[in-house]
Amino acid sequence: MLLRRTLMLGVLWLAVALCATPTDVQSQRPMAPEKRSRIPEKEQSGQPPVQAPVPWVNVHVHLVAGRGPQQDYAGAVDAALREMDRFGIAMTIVLPPPQVDAQATHDAADFASAVQRHPGRFAYLGGGGVLNPLIHRYADPARVTDAVKREFAAAAERIIDGGAAGFGEMASLHISHASEHPYEFVPADHPLFRVLADVAARRDVPIDLHMDAVEGQMPTPSHLAGYANPPTLPDTMGALARLLAYNPKAKIVWAHGGSDPLGAMTAAAIGRLMDAHPNLFVSLRIPPASAPVHNKALTGAGLDPEWQEMFTRHADRFVIGTDAFMVSPSVRGRGPGISFAEKNVPAFHATVRLLSLLPPELARKIGRENAIQLYKLPAR
Ligand SMILES: [Zn+2]
């Protein structure tokens, strides 16, 4: 099965390379990029640009491009560029969401050519559509044979050989927030996560990990009970600590700090893990102060003092990852990605506000320099 999927991926790569000539890609677009870039930013968005204190890097963005012949990653990339210019974002890292076998999976091979047309503005991660489904297919560790580990490691190596700056988005515990949005769980120290940590350490690339935080066990909150989630959610924090200790050279970027759906991803819990594990990084997803989530860094009163203390204590370990969903204008209909995209602009505003509340040195590190180092981005 793995071999078949790998072969298919190879064929897909070839197809992308052969088919995605500039003419083909452009014919799917509502407007060529050269023309668009000549239109002043103000006219494109209808609103003036927002002043960030530093040209920042957004390390966690998804593209929504549709499926089949209508698939339009170039259009989604253009949509991302418009928002980047509006909100002062110098570079964006695109990554496939953490998918499972039940979905029509996609991965970096599908969008790499669209992203690579703007090398100074984008980098990408891979594995959310190739490696993450495998981890969850082999959720029972007893089924992870040496052959499975070898094939998984080889698939991971190919993703980096293909030009990805790291692995993502991978999921340990992923709560469902909508219909067609999967519930996923394996502990973060699952045998295949350990294999991935070894490859990441060897290649010196980070792993973007989605792991909703649970300390002990907890009943699923009632507002999340309507989707694919089970009645009880498993502990996740212990396994993350074990993964971090298993290979201290593997850099783990724990995603979505500052907007916690469950309650255990506190600034203090992150701080304790960072104190013990120098290989832990956290990407911040900053929602507006009014958002109905726990452990927000930005509150109605401004920057939360506990988070500010953590940012100061571990100034080299935080990056910004807004979890924006950039939708191609040719995509029709509804889906989780399209409804999540409605949060993009409020999150960009909140992020710029957070950066402007930080002391300049911290804003430079958290907004920009840490990401450049961690993902080995070209500084611009
Ligand atoms: Zn995520």
Question: Quick one: pLDDT at residue 179?
Answer: 85
Give the range among 142-146, 165-169, 327-331 with minimum mean pLDDT: 327-331
pLDDT value at residue 245: 98
Residue 349: give its domain's CATH number. Answer: 3.20.20.140
User: Could you tell me if residue 107 is inside a domain?
Assistant: yes
pLDDT band at 1 (very low <50, low <70, confident <90, very high): very low
Q: How far is the CA of 32 from the centre of ligand 1 (A)?
A: 31
Q: What is the pLDDT of residue 133?
A: 98
39 Cα to the center of ligand 1, angstroms:
34
Percent of the chain scored above 90 by pLDDT?
Answer: 77
Ligand 1 mean position to 21 CA, how many Å? Answer: 32
Residue type at 319?
A: V
Q: How far, in Å, from the CA of 18 to the mean position of ligand 1? A: 32
Is residue 17 assigned to a domain? no
Domain count, the chain: 1
From the CA of 3, how far away is ligand 1's center (Å)? 27
Which whole number is the average pLDDT over 238-246? 98
C-alpha 318 to ligand 1 mean position (Å): 16
Q: How far is the CA of 172 from the centre of ligand 1 (A)?
A: 10
Q: How far is ligand 1, taken at its centre, from the CA of residue 36, in Å?
A: 31
Cα of 128 from ligand 1 centre, angstroms: 10
Q: Which of these, 111, 103, 160, 112, lies nearest to 132 by C-alpha position?
A: 103
2 belongs to a structural domain: no
Is residue 12 included in any domain, yes or no?
Answer: no
Q: State percent of the chain over pLDDT 70.
A: 87
Q: Which domain holds residue 286?
A: 56-374
Compute, in angstroms, the gap from residue 26 CA to the centroid of ligand 1.
30
What's the whole-number mean pLDDT along residues 147-168?
98
In a domain, 176, yes or no: yes
Mean pLDDT over the full length of the chain: 88
Q: Give pLDDT, residue 48.
A: 63
Give dist(CA 101, CA 136) in Å, integer.
Answer: 8
Residue type, 70: Q
Whether residue 165 lies inside any domain: the answer is: yes
**How far is the centre of ligand 1, averaged over its atoms, from the C-alpha of 253 (Å)?**
11
Report the pLDDT averaged over residues 192-212: 98
Residue 93 has pLDDT above 50, yes or no: yes
Residue 66: which of 57, 79, 76 has the closest Cα? 76
Domain for residue 198, yes or no?
yes
Instruction: Compute the distance from residue 19 Cα to the ligand 1 centre, in Å.
Output: 31
Residue 76 lies in a domain: yes
Task: Report pTM.
Answer: 0.87
233 phi/psi in degrees, rounded to 5: -100, 140
What confidence category does residue 69 fall into, taking pLDDT thresholds of 50, 70 and 90?
Answer: confident
Mean pLDDT of the region 315-335? 92
User: Where in the chain does DSSP place strands (E)?
Assistant: 56-64, 89-94, 122-124, 126-127, 167-171, 173-174, 184-185, 207-210, 218-219, 232-233, 252-257, 280-284, 298-299, 302-303, 318-320, 324-327
Q: Is the pLDDT of residue 35 over 60?
A: no
Q: How far is the CA of 211 from the centre of ligand 1 (A)?
A: 8
Q: How far is the CA of 90 from the centre of ligand 1 (A)?
A: 22
